[in-house]
Chain A
């Protein structure tokens, strides 16, 4: 390996400089206050977890986990998401608490990347988990809260795609007969490979009606009417129940007047096995990747020996900041007070007064800067307490 240059960082690791940090903090605070007003309580979990527990329970692929060893020889992981650690807590420490549990987090998560460019290895996620409520209202609450959070954070144009894994599984199993073949075809959807899906369907020894059902699955994308089209394709109880749930969800979102930003996409398969019911993804205009996602994961808590339904969402702070950063103008720094040593007391009193008014003031001694003009140019206002005469001149 070549010697590293001193400025280099591991692949996918990023610095956040003050300007961007400011914006990121605003976004984070906006979302946090929205979710706390919906009654979600913040929670923190450790950065390191066991690979055997949280690492394997997580939805993130094993090759994307950062692993290390502790002194006892156990494999540890840097937490790749927050859902698995929260499931761990819900299944253990908080398993006696009254249900449903409403928890929220904002924390950095870690995912090792092979390639750079739009794939950070560490990024902050803000999200919620609603544990112990299996109703469609819980799914609707989580989706509406994600929408409300996006709006609160300043995202004006966004879209949420909503799907249902239960429906996809039911239809595939109904037509294809067994789990293995259903999995095989679900993988095509997961890989977004519609061409491969269609080609293989055409080669199957199926009736033309069944082939058409599978072809039609790929067209189940659009407004609420999609749910009715989907009804024509499934016969099984599971499939119909999934669509009932979806229909209820849509009607709740309509009541919340959020249906304009929603679309149904029954081909949305974000993971091969993690999600069990409703799934959704959020997109902001002008950004090529989803800004957030979520869904129902009723089997995750089983991995922590505790059976319980759960649903939640996670928003990616890095991508939200990127989407918003394109619109927001850069903020300039507020006030700089430049003083000379002999007038420090006056300068301090003035600064205290201004800070008391809620302004942000930099106090800078004159001898500490080389070029006063260049330095003070970055502030909106500059106040001088220099020399012997006057009560502090102001420029600009």
Chain B
């Protein structure tokens, strides 16, 4: 159908910068610097794109409802949110992993109830169910490392990139749950109605990602 702007939902911050870098490598004419402003919508007509800057957790929501055609979202967020969207490409950026952590003194036998604090209640409960363990989840919105230290929960589930935050707070990793990277996601309707533009974008990004891997 028509050659309109493609609306791209992006998380603010580091993922945005890395994703923009990929798009530039894919020869999209994006400005060298995005103005550090509080703007939530950035239009780049010469690249045929409009960016909307959202909280990472909200990116799949915008894409599912079709107010954004495509987006960049962490796999963690996608597992947590379970939105009806196409996951078409692993961008291999913002690599990190989900892990279970606790204080070194943690002893499963002394637990009153298996309490786990996390920002990702759905992901956590699904993971432990698959492991055959029923756990009680305490949902927190940040600073998850606090929970075992002050005795809110024995274990936590959180995203780990270098492990430094865990170490600084005296926590140890018990197990790695899954690897996380950012994914290119597409709204099911846009995937068909704007398929020429979106397929082109996916192909160009896939090429850049493949090159990046080859150089590693």
B214: Cβ under 8 A from any A Cβ: no
B57: Cβ under 8 A from any A Cβ: no
B188 pairs with A290, CB closer than 8 A: yes
B87 pairs with A159, CB closer than 8 A: no
A192 touching B85 in the complex, CB below 8 Å, given contacts A117-B65, A157-B1, A288-B187: yes
Task: Report the stretch among A35-43, A46-54, A176-184, A193-201 that lies at the interface.
Answer: A193-201
B67: Cβ under 8 A from any A Cβ: yes
Least CB distance from A261 to B in Å reads: 10
Task: Report the stretch among B29-37, B97-105, B134-142, B189-197 that lies at the interface.
Answer: B189-197
Please indicate the chain A residues that have their CB under 8 angstroms from the CB of B193 in the complex: 159, 283, 285
Chain B proximity mask over A158-190: 1 for CB below 8 Å, otherwise 0: 010100000000000000000000000000000
Interface centre among A157, A263, A288, by most chain B C-beta atoms within 10 angstroms, is A288
Report 17 cross-chain contacts, Cβ distance below 8 Å, ordered by A residue: A117-B65, A159-B1, A161-B192, A192-B84, A192-B85, A192-B188, A193-B87, A194-B88, A195-B89, A195-B90, A221-B195, A263-B192, A263-B195, A288-B64, A288-B66, A288-B190, A290-B188
A117, A194, A196, A283: the one within 8 Å of B189 (CB): A283
B195 pairs with A222, CB closer than 8 A: yes
A289 pairs with B189, CB closer than 8 A: yes
B187's nearest neighbour on chain A, judged by CB, is A288
Least CB distance from A223 to B in Å reads: 10
State the CA gap A154–B22 with chains docked (Å): 41
B86: Cβ under 8 A from any A Cβ: yes
A372: Cβ under 8 A from any B Cβ: no
B189's nearest neighbour on chain A, judged by CB, is A283
- Please give 10 more A-B residue pairs, beta carbons under 8 A apart, in addition to A192-B84, A222-B195, A285-B2: A192-B85, A194-B87, A194-B88, A195-B87, A195-B89, A195-B90, A199-B90, A263-B192, A285-B1, A285-B193
State the CA gap A159–B1 with chains docked (Å): 9
Please indicate the chain B residues that have their CB under 8 angstroms from the CB of A192 in the complex: 84-87, 188
B202's nearest neighbour on chain A, judged by CB, is A194
Please indicate the chain A residues that have their CB under 8 angstroms from the CB of B189 in the complex: 283, 287-290
A289 pairs with B66, CB closer than 8 A: yes
CB-CB contacts below 8 Å: B174-216 with A: 183, 187-190, 192-193, 195, 199
CB-CB contacts below 8 Å: A304-354 with B: none
Interface centre among B1, B67, B90, B189, by most chain A C-beta atoms within 10 angstroms, is B189
B192 pairs with A196, CB closer than 8 A: no
Query: What count of chain A residues pass the 8 Å CB interface test?
Result: 22
A265: Cβ under 8 A from any B Cβ: yes
Please indicate the chain A residues that have their CB under 8 angstroms from the CB of B190 in the complex: 288
Please indicate the chain A residues that have their CB under 8 angstroms from the CB of B89 in the complex: 194-195
A288 pairs with B88, CB closer than 8 A: no
CB-CB contacts below 8 Å: A259-296 with B: 263, 265, 281, 283, 285, 287-290
A265 touching B192 in the complex, CB below 8 Å, given contacts A192-B87, A194-B86, A195-B87: yes
Please indicate the chain A residues that have their CB under 8 angstroms from the CB of B195 in the complex: 221-222, 263
A73: Cβ under 8 A from any B Cβ: no
State the CA gap A395–B79 with chains docked (Å): 62
Least CB distance from B167 to A in Å reads: 30
Please indicate the chain A residues that have their CB under 8 angstroms from the CB of B90 in the complex: 195, 199
Please indicate the chain B residues that have their CB under 8 angstroms from the CB of A18 in the complex: none
State the CA gap A194–B186 with chains docked (Å): 11
Least CB distance from A64 to B in Å reads: 13
State the CA gap A281–B67 with chains docked (Å): 19
CB-CB contacts below 8 Å: B1-34 with A: 1-2
State the CA gap A317–B182 with chains docked (Å): 36
State the CA gap A289–B192 with chains docked (Å): 11
Least CB distance from A157 to B in Å reads: 6
Please indicate the chain A residues that have their CB under 8 angstroms from the CB of B88 in the complex: 194-195
A290's nearest neighbour on chain B, judged by CB, is B189
Please indicate the chain A residues that have their CB under 8 angstroms from the CB of B188 in the complex: 192, 289-290
